[in-house]
Amino acid sequence: MSRLVIINRDILPMTGEDRLEESAAQTLASLYRGGYRILVLAPQPESWRPSRQAMDGDLDRQQRIFQQLDALGVALDGVYYIPRSLFSQGRKRQRAFADIARRYARTESISLFSADKRELACAQELTWQAFDLKGARSIQAFEQSLSPLLEN
């Protein structure tokens, strides 16, 4: 059985060029080599704006993350976009997390790393491991928060 790590995209340490910090990418590669599947969680953009000449910013960031991790031998499971809504965000988040739980039903364990209190509460309702990374914007804090998984 596999294990799943879900990481909120907002806590990923990024460089100015919208690339993962190298040591953060190496940490994710270590998780992958340790048998973890990796899914990135992000809010769905209000609209997608790709054109023939330019790629949408969210899709471009996603492609850069995929390419950078692919170069390290990591097959990212994907980016799961949670729909936004002014009045029904909580229900949409719950539906999205239930969908993830259904898609990964045969997964041994699911761990969520996020700084969003509502996401963490939703994960705990589903009996996932939830790690609060509020204020952990440094590379060291990011790596330290993932270290318990690397020890298993």
Percentage of residues in the chain with pLDDT exceeding 90? 38
Strands, E assignment, the chain: 3-8, 36-43, 78-82, 109-114, 129-132
> pTM of the entire structure?
0.84
How is residue 74 written in tokens? Answer: 């990591």
What is the mean predicted confidence (pLDDT) over 43-71? 75
Query: What confidence score (pLDDT) does residue 87 get?
Result: 72
Residues above pLDDT 70, as percent of the chain = 88
48 Cβ contact list (under 8 Å, min separation 6): 56, 58, 59
For residue 16, the model assigns a pLDDT of: 78
Domain count, the chain: 1
Q: Assign residue 84 the CATH number of its domain.
A: 3.40.50.1000
Please name the residues in contact with 8: beta carbons below 8 A apart, sequence gap of 6 or more: 40, 41, 42, 112, 113, 114, 115, 116, 119, 133
Query: Of 95, 92, 81, which Cα lies nearest the Cα of 6?
Result: 81
Residue pLDDT, tens place only, 62-115: 888 889 999 999 999 999 998 877 677 788 889 999 999 999 988 788 999 998
- Contact between 90 and 118 under an 8 Å Cβ cutoff? The reply is yes
Q: What is the pLDDT of residue 137?
A: 62
For residue 80, the enclosing domain spans 3-151
Beta bridge partners of 36: 3
